[in-house]
Amino acid sequence: MAAIGEFVGPVRQPVEGAALQSSPLYWMYEMSHAALNPSRAMADVSRLLFKNPINPVSHTPMGKSMAAAFELFERTTRRYAKPEWGITDTTVNGHRVPIHINAVWARPFCRLLHFEREFAQPLRRPQPRLVIVAPMSGHHATLLRGTVEAFLPTHDVYVTDWLDAKTVPLADGRFGLDDYVDYLISIFHRLGGDCHVLAVCQPAVPVLMAIARMEAEDDPYAPKSMILMGGPIDTREAPTAVNALAKDKGIEFFRRNVITQVPWSHAGATRHVYPGFLQLTGFMSMNLDRHVKAHYDLFGHLVKGDGDSAEKHREFYDEYLAVMDLDARFYLETVESVFITHALPTGQMQHRGQPVKTQAIHRTALMTVEGEKDDISGIGQTKAAHTLCPRIPEAKRAHYMQPGVGHYGVFNGSRFRSEIQPRIADFILSQEFPRAVDMDGANVTALYPR
């Protein structure tokens, strides 16, 4: 059987076509950022001056307010770099285990990171391999730091680390939805099929596509199970504001208004992209009042000297405000096929000119997870995967809806750690040991490798 990941054949027609024009949008953004550099530097110096304990003014309400104002200005006008993972160890069976992060597979737009645990003594039974497919939707894979940390004690974790499109030279080619699927299939081949895959939000669609193509070809390296979390499998179900915007505007609106070229100051100069700063604007505009209040609260914490609360704000926004550009081809193809034409649930989706037959999936188990208050992927959009995969046996499928959480809470936070992650771990083990583990997870704990 030919390896689908290496398939060369008819390529999906680029939806951006020749209609894309060179837009000055990115250049204007770069110029405005550069113009603020002197003011930002002055604000940072002034902040240090008003926080210096030698300065008597720093102990007054006015001095504290000035220091807080300067920090707020500097933070709201800076460019945030890709955060570090900051994961150095975990706890397995009560023992501290060092973590080494290694890239074990690489392509121009992605690296597969292995969070390798250095055990003093080998485990009696290997723990399940889990490939976490991070969303390629503007934020870096480090947004899933909490997700990774939750699985490290009980799983051998791999994560897709998508690269910022502005750092990828144009000579490395374009990147579309077909390429995304090819990457996933290549990763599953690299791991020999001995893995489970967890897709967070956007990658739910390409993961389902990749496994459907592998199953249709009887590929022996298809993952043992797929867990789809808060993903837009069928956006006709409980459409959200995000879905409605795409449907109402149409693909031409996005092609004309949000696609621009990377400036010459970056390695990916002249590449057509959907820039991260526009994506961030869209993220924040959905809950603008909440973000404004958070920054207002930060000012108050700084004035009062509440260092713990201020640091929590910094940690969250250092991650949230660090964004990356997406190749225009991938972005436009995703918007059109997932949100406008609903190609996957209507049976029109193709990969490299071949139909994507989700009904071919029968060996890979399926679990879907949704959040009750998810305002990005509405209730039922992810669960629709079960309807599209009728040949998966009942013993190899599960669905869970977490009460009281929004989109972010589906894959991070206290309820994820205490209620969602254990259910996913149980489901994975039920596929590792199908005869010994009941589907309710009642016998799972006793089977965990020690």
Collapsing DSSP states into helix, strand and coil, what is residue 175? coil
Confidence of residue 442 (pLDDT cuts 50, 70, 90): very low
Contact 327, 273 (CB under 8 A): yes
pLDDT tops 60 at residue 76: yes
CA separation for the pair 137, 280 (Å, rounded): 10
pLDDT of 21: 52
Domain ranges of the chain: 4-17+98-253+326-447
Closest CA to 198 of 180, 213, 211: 211
The residue with greater pLDDT, 182 or 22, is 182
CB atoms within 10 A of CB 272: 25
Average pLDDT, the chain: 87
Spatial separation of the C-alpha atoms in residues 393 and 401, rounded to whole Å: 20
What pLDDT score was predicted for residue 434? 65
Q: Which one has a higher pLDDT value, 150 or 61?
A: 150
Tell me the average pLDDT across 107-114: 97
**What's the CATH number for 4-17+98-253+326-447?**
3.40.50.1820
Q: How much of the chain, in percent, has pLDDT values that exceed 90?
A: 59
DSSP-derived secondary structure for 280-340: HHHHHHHTHHHHHHHHHHHHHHHHHT-HHHHHHHHHHHHHHT-B--EEHHHHHHHIIIIII
Half-sphere exposure at residue 86, Cβ-oriented, CA atoms within 13 angstroms: 10
Which sign does the torsion angle of CA 114, 120, 121, 127 carry? negative
